[in-house]
Structure 1
C-alpha cells in the first residue's frame, strides 16, 4: 500500500491540490480556477482512437491515429500544468512526491461533478520526467466528496478469492463479444485457479443475482459484471423506486433472454447487505458519467457504500482485458490493495501494447482505459500464510486438471474461435429445454461450436456432471452411447451387466445427473440427403428416439448437430440455426490462416476486408480461399469467387486445405443424377437463386434461353424439377432456404466448386461427341454420359465458347428482367422492389459481365433498374 498521497479536490469552478506524506496531516496548496482542458473534439478523437481505429486501420486512419498519439502527450502536459504548476505550493508538493518516489504515492481525484470525474486524468504527463504519471504511480483513483457511510464489513474468507461473474448479453449481436472480458478473465486466472473461485451466475437475471448473494452473505470478494451499462435520464430502473434526476443502470438478462434494466442503487444495496466490497465493471458507458450527480453506475455504487469499483472508461480490447484482468486478480490473490492491483494491471497493459487488427498486431496506447473509483484504501484479500505466497510469480504455476470431457475430438489447427453469441444462445436454449438441435450448412462449424460450448461449460462449472461426445457420421447406435457413459461412470463393473440393465443404469444416471450429451453429425442416421438409405435400421432409430424421450424429464442436456432438422425424433427439441462467424471472429481466424500460409496482412490492401465479407464468415471457405492470397490479390480472389472462375482448380498443392472440397464432394455425390447434372448451373449465380427464374430460363426448348441451356445440360426443366433439385441441395447442406418457397441462399464458395463441375460436364460433351451416344450412356452410367446427346449444333464449339454462350444468354435474361421490373415500380412497387432487391447480387454480377463484354445496352438496363430501387424511400 502506498505511503504518500496527492489529492486533487474539485469544487465548484476550482481545484485544490493537497499532499500527505505517510500519516502526517495533509498540506494544502491554494485553490485555482479550473478550466476544462479538453474540448469536445479532443474527447471524440480520443474515443475514436481507443475504440474504432484498429477496426479499420486503412487509408487516412493510421495518420490520424499517429497525430492523436502525439496529442496524448500534449493533453497530458496541459492537465499537468493546470494541476502541478498552478502555484508554488503545487510545484513543491509534486517535487516532494517525486523525491519520495512516485511508486510510493497515490493520486486521488475528488469531485461530485461527472464532467470532472470523466476527464482522462490518466493522461497527466510530466515534462520534466518525460513520462505519463499513471503507469508510474502506486495507484490512481477517483472519489466523491459525499458518500454514504456504511457499517464495517464482516471479515471475508481468506482461503480463496471468491468472484461472482455475471455475463449478460440481452441485446444479442449488438452486445460486446463474450471474449472481450469473460474468456480473457478465465484464461488469465487459469494459472492461479488454486487461489481463485469463479462462479458464473446462471441465469444472469437480477432475481438470481439477489438469491446468490443472499445465499452466500459474506462470501464473495468481488462481483464482476460483464455486460451492458447505460445512463437512464428518467431513472426508469427495474422497479423505479428511487426517482430523482437519473442514474446509471445495468442490464441483466431475464430467463427468456430479454433485457432486465436495474438501477445502480438496487445493485449497491445488495452489495452492502451481503457484504461484497468490490464491483468490477466492464459495461459499455460504465465509467462515462451522466449529467446529474452520481449518475453513472460506478459513482452510484461508490456513493452508496461500495469499497471500490473498477470500471472501463472506454470499450476495452480483448487482448488488453486479458493483460489487465490477469494482473489485477493475480495481485489480489497476492494480497495487494485495490489501488495497487489496478495500477499493476495498468502497467501490464502498458508493457504489452500490441493489439489485433485486420492488418496484423498494432500498438495501441490503451493503458488509460481501466479506472478505479474508491473512497478509502482497501485490501480485499489477505492470504492466510504469506510464506506460501511470497511473490505473485510463485502463484503462476499450472495445476493439473482432471477433465470432465469424454470422447471429444481434438481441436482443429486453428483452435476454437468466436461463437460467443452462439454459446449464449445455446445456454438460453437449454434453460427452456434440455434437448437442443443445432442445425447448419455443411462445414459451417457445428462440431467446433458443440465442442467449444462443452469446454465453456467445463471452465465455468456450467455442468456439474460429465460431458460426452459421440459422432454419428458413420452410424453410431444407442449401444455406443450407453457403453461410453457406462464405462466412464462404472468402469469394469459395467461390462458384465446385461444389455437391458446397462441401458437402465445409464438412463437413470443421466436423468439424475446434470451431464451433457453431444450427438454430432446426426443427419446420416435417418438417411442423408432425404431419400438416401439410413445408416441405422428402423429398430435402431426407434431406440434413439425413445431414449431421447425418456431423457426429456431428466437433468442431462442433449445437444444434437445436423445439417437438417430431425423432426422424426419427435422429442420436442429446441431448434437453433447456425450461421457464419462474426466479423471480428472472421478476422481472428483469417489471421491464423494467413500466418500459417506465410501471408503478411500488413501488406494487404483494404479489399482484403471485402474478401472476408464476401466469404460470409464460413470457416471452411476461409480456410480454402485465404491461402491463395500468397499468390493473388484480394481483388483477384473476389472476382474469382463471384464469377466462379477456375482460379482454384489445378494440381493439388502440398498442404492445401481440401476440407471444403471434400465436404461438397460428399454431399454432391449423394444427390440424384438429375440434381448432379443441373446444379452446376448455379455456378453462374451469386448469393441467392430463385427457382422461378431458373424455370423461366431453362423450361422451353423453343426459346433461345432454353436452347442455350439444353446445349449444355442436355434437357430442359420445369419449375417442379428445379424445386426438387434445390430441395435436395438444401437437405444436403449445399444451399439454404432463404425466402418464400423458391428462393435459396448460395454459399459464397459454392460457385467455384460448381464451376469445376460445369467445366467437367462440357469437356465430357466434347470428348464424347464422336462416339455413339447410346453406347456411352449405357456403359458409363453417370450423369455426364448423357450429355453426349445434347444438340449437335453446339458440338463444333469449344468448351469456353459453350459456357460463354450460356453466360451471354443469362446476361440478356437478367437485363430484360431488370427492365421489366423497373417498369413495374410504377404499377406494383412493392413486388418490383422485392424482386429487384432479392436479385440484386445476380444483377450486379451480370452488370460486371456486361461491362467486360462492352454490352452497354444491357448494362444500362440493369443500372437503371438498380438505380431506381436505390433511390426509393
Structure 2
C-alpha cells in the first residue's frame, strides 16, 4: 500500500432539531450530506461498551459497527465507498478525517469504526487510517525540518498514586522501536537502565542506534517531572536552537466537570494536577511539534454542558496552541497495550 492518501472529510455539526447534521467532502471538492439521529447516538454508552470489550473483545466489533452505522448513512456511505474505490484505482489510500463539533460526540471512540463484511476496523488498515481534526485559532507550527529528531520522555510518578512500574515497559518499547535504525543517538543509557531495572538491560544497546536516513537523534528522559523541570528543559532546548520535536508524557491524567488535566509531581513528590490550558502553556513557545500523552483519560474532555469549552481536554488544548499533532488516550488503557502502541508508533517513525 502506498503511503500516499486522498482524504475523505466528515464534519459532524452540533445537534439541531433532534439530529446531528453531517457534511462530507471527497476528492475534487465533491460533497455529500446526511444526518445522525440523536436517539441512535444517545444509545451509545461508550464507557459501558469499552468496559465490556476488555472482557469480551467481540463486543468491540459490535460497538464499532454501531458507530459505523450511525455515521455512514445513505449518501455519506455511498460517497465513502466511491471515494475509496477511486483511491484504490490510483494505488492510494483514503484517509478518513473526522471533525466532531458536539462535545458529547467527541467522547465516542470513533477510532473503532467497524465496516462489517467489507473493510473491518477502518483504523487497522493502512488503506483507511482515521484522523481527528480540530480547528485552531492559532497558526500551525511548521513541520520538522532536516534529518535530526529530538524526543523528550517525561515520567511523573507522584506519591499516593498507583506506581508506574509497568509503564517503564513502555520506555523499553520506545527504545526497541527506535533501535530499528542504525544511527548513533545522544542519550545516557545508564540512566534508563538504572531506572527501569535489570530486566531490560538491552535498552542501552538499543538506544545507540536509530532511524535509518534520519541522522542523529536525541532522546532525553526527565524523571519525576515537575512543572519547573519540564519548563526549564524545554526552554533551554529552544534557546539553544534544539527544540524537542516530540514530548512523550507517561503518567497519570484525568478529567472532570471542569476539564482535563495531567498529574505531574510537586517538589515534595506529591500529586500536582495541571489543567489542560496550563499544560499547553508549558509547551508554548518551545517549538514542540507533537505531544504523545500516555495518561489515562488524557484525551477526555470535561463533562458536556451548555457552557462547555471545546479545548478543555489536554490534547485539544495542545492543538489549539498550534502544535501539529497530539496522540492521547480517551479511556483507561492496559499497560501492555500502552507499550505495544508506543512500539508501533515509534517503529513507524523509524521506518520513515
TM-score bin, normalised by smaller chain: 0.7 to 0.9
* 1:555-583 Cα deviation digits (max 9, x unpaired): xxxxxxxxxxxxxxxxxxxxxxxxxxxxx
Checking the alignment, whether the CA contact within 8 Å between 2:113 and 2:123 is kept in structure 1 is yes
Matches within 5 A, 1:636-715: none
Shift of 1:31: 3.3
Give the one of 94, 100, 105 matched to 1:105: 94
* 1:806-843 Cα deviation digits (max 9, x unpaired): xxxxxxxxxxxxxxxxxxxxxxxxxxxxxxxxxxxxxx
Matches within 5 A, 1:14-25: 14-21=20-27, 24=28
Q: Which SS does the other structure have where 1:325 is aligned?
A: helix
Give the one of 318, 321, 345 matched to 1:301: 318
Structure (1/2) with the larger strand percentage: 2
Q: RMSD of the TM alignment (CA)?
A: 2.6
Shift of 1:265: 1.8
Q: How many residues align?
A: 301
Report the equivalent of 2:147.
158
Matched, 1:7 2:9: yes
Report the equivalent of 2:286.
274
TM-score scaled to structure 1, two decimals?
A: 0.32
Distance 1:125 1:175 in 2: 35
Report the equivalent of 1:189.
178
Shift of 1:42: 5.5
Distance 2:44 2:140 in 1: 41
Matched, 1:206 2:227: yes
Checking the alignment, whether the CA contact within 8 Å between 1:181 and 1:282 is kept in structure 2 is no
**Higher radius of gyration, 1 or 2:** 1
Checking the alignment, whether the CA contact within 8 Å between 1:9 and 1:17 is kept in structure 2 is yes
Distance 1:114 1:298 in 2: 14
Report the equivalent of 1:114.
103
Report the equivalent of 2:31.
28
* 1:647-704 Cα deviation digits (max 9, x unpaired): xxxxxxxxxxxxxxxxxxxxxxxxxxxxxxxxxxxxxxxxxxxxxxxxxxxxxxxxxx
Distance 2:51 2:299 in 1: 13
* 1:229-274 Cα deviation digits (max 9, x unpaired): 12254xxxxxxxxxxxx33211111232111222222222332301
Matched, 1:330 2:323: no
Shift of 1:303: 1.9
Give unmatched runs, 5+ long, in structure 1: 54-64, 234-245, 336-873
Shift of 1:122: 2.2
CA gap of 1:99–1:27, structure 2 versus 1, over 3 A, is closer
Report the equivalent of 2:132.
142
Q: Which SS does the other structure have where 2:331 is aligned?
A: coil
Distance 2:153 2:282 in 1: 15
Q: Which SS does the other structure have where 2:295 is aligned?
A: coil
Distance 2:22 2:253 in 1: 32
Shift of 1:89: 5.2
Q: Which SS does the other structure have where 1:227 is aligned?
A: strand
CA gap of 1:175–1:301, structure 2 versus 1, over 3 A, is farther
Report the equivalent of 1:46.
50
Give the one of 291, 299, 304 matched to 1:287: 299
Checking the alignment, whether the CA contact within 8 Å between 2:10 and 2:25 is kept in structure 1 is no
Give the one of 266, 269, 272 matched to 1:260: 272
Q: Which SS does the other structure have where 1:216 is aligned?
A: helix
Q: Which SS does the other structure have where 2:70 is aligned?
A: helix
Structure (1/2) with the larger helix percentage: 1
Matched, 1:229 2:233: no
CA gap of 1:316–1:106, structure 2 versus 1, over 3 A, is same
Shift of 1:138: 4.4
Distance 2:21 2:143 in 1: 36
Higher normalized contact order (CA 8 Å, seq sep 6+, divided by chain length): 2
Report the equivalent of 2:196.
none
CA gap of 1:190–1:257, structure 2 versus 1, over 3 A, is farther
